[in-house]
Amino acid sequence: MNIVIIGAGRVGLVTGSCFAEMGNNVTVIDIDENKIQRLRENIVSFYEPDLERLVRKNHKVGRLHFEIDLANCLKRVKAIFIAVGTPSNNDGTANLCQVLEASRNIGRNIKHDILVVIKSTVPVGTSQKIKSIIQEELDKRRVGISIEIVSNPEFLKEGTAIKDFMNPDRVIVGVENEKVQKLIDELYKPYRIIYTDIPSAEMIKYVANAMLATRISFMNDIANLCSLIGVDINMVRIGIGFDSRIGTKFLYSGCGYGGSCFPKDIKALIQIGYTNGYAMQLLQAVEAVNNNQKTILFDKLLRIFENNLKGKIVALWGLSFKPNTDDICESPALTLIDALLKAGAIIQVYDPVALEETRRHFGNKLYYYTNMYDAAKNADVLLLLTEWKEFYSPSWELLKKTMGHSILLDGRNIYDKKKMHLNGFTYIHI
């Protein structure tokens, strides 16, 4: 099938590459000329495991193309996917500028009946707005072209996006009528497709992310209480995780969630509630707990160093908001680094893939290292912020020799407290 994807970001490029891998002829469109040129050279501008290999492979065999102008790519196209960003406005609402501009572009350029699929995370009612905008542009052109709108939210996790697309738990598709289902079935065969109405599909994405964020904030709140009353949160996690009604996922306490999805989607749902006269009290609490959680490690540092961090060498392991991505958007590391800089600390950082993103954000305010032990050299304290696999089993002997003082704050609770003490470390966890 001939497909166009509007947006060459984390969602659009993964979607396009995976559809091409499934045998479709895919063109990915983006207004960023530099990004498109780099993609033509098989260079991906962000880190996602296995993505660059898929881009290179499918570009080479002619199933994956990259263009700037939508008008040049519409011949025999059956479906156009909108996969552009919807960042937060200052008030927390979803910014739909890119989505609406993509819609206008579609209406100005399509030359035959077509299916428009919304991949972007958008508030309820946006799909209808998109259809109206496209129709307005068609009316201006006085052409009798028919469009069908489908809501098909993505559930891709950064770091496992290829796997998530190729082996989904389910594919959610919101439709206006049954006649488009045949085309969707052809696209997503043999995956499990759940058909809904369009507003429900738009809402499902928000609710899924809100549920997961709620579990994280709940466990972080419980972890903070456990810390005060001498209870091991890891034992609590294991104990409740074996309850089949609860399960084990998203039960790990830590220094807070971040990324390009959870924070903005929580904000958007809260604002949708306000707009409709309903206070989303639980989600407000989820957001408040997470904002507080990002300050927990800094508060612990202040207690350790008696409110004086000036000149202290602080080493950070992990900068991305989660492993297997270079995305530092809303990462707990950013909040901590800002606080450390204000306190006058000397900050030495290491991350397997997020150093350049962090350098773009902080410039020369930090010391950047490409080796985890070098980052810890002469450090007064080491903080683990992202649970990359290479951090799970370091050489404790080498680390102890490298650091100035053997103090380790574990922001992801990946180490065993007894073993850390046996290795001679002062160990503090969430």
User: Is 298 assigned to a binding site?
Assistant: no
Whole-number Å distance between alpha carbons of 266 and 207: 9
Beta strands in 289-394 (DSSP E): 313-317, 346-350, 367-368, 381-384
Note whether 326 and 260 are within 8 A (CB): no
User: Is 30 assigned to a binding site?
Assistant: yes
User: Is 363 assigned to a binding site?
Assistant: no
Query: C-alpha distances in angstroms, 233 versus 226, 276, 399?
Result: 6, 38, 26
User: Is 253 assigned to a binding site?
Assistant: yes
User: Is 319 assigned to a binding site?
Assistant: no
User: Is 157 assigned to a binding site?
Assistant: yes
Q: Tokens 């045998």 correspond to what residue?
A: 23
Query: C-alpha distances in angstroms, 242 versus 14, 214, 231, 232, 250?
Result: 34, 19, 18, 16, 13
Note whether 328 and 321 are within 8 A (CB): yes
User: Is 35 assigned to a binding site?
Assistant: yes
**Is 329 among the catalytic positions?**
no
Point out the catalytic residue in the list 18, 226, 255, 261: 261
User: Is 264 assigned to a binding site?
Assistant: yes
Whole-number Å distance between alpha carbons of 30 and 6: 6
Token code pair at residue 413: 């609770």
Whole-number Å distance between alpha carbons of 182 and 20: 19
User: Is 160 assigned to a binding site?
Assistant: no
**Other beta carbons less than 10 A from residue 74's beta carbon:** 17
Token code pair at residue 85: 């960003």
User: Is 46 assigned to a binding site?
Assistant: no
User: Is 362 assigned to a binding site?
Assistant: no
The angle subtended at Cα 223 by Cα 236 and Cα 159, nearest 5°, is: 90
User: Is 251 assigned to a binding site?
Assistant: yes
Q: Residues annotated in the binding site, as ranges?
A: 30, 35, 86, 121, 155-158, 205, 250-254, 258, 264, 322
Q: Residues annotated in the binding site for NAD(+), as ranges?
A: 30, 35, 86, 121, 158, 264
Catalytic residues: 261
Q: Residues annotated in the binding site for substrate, as ranges?
A: 155-158, 205, 250-254, 258, 322
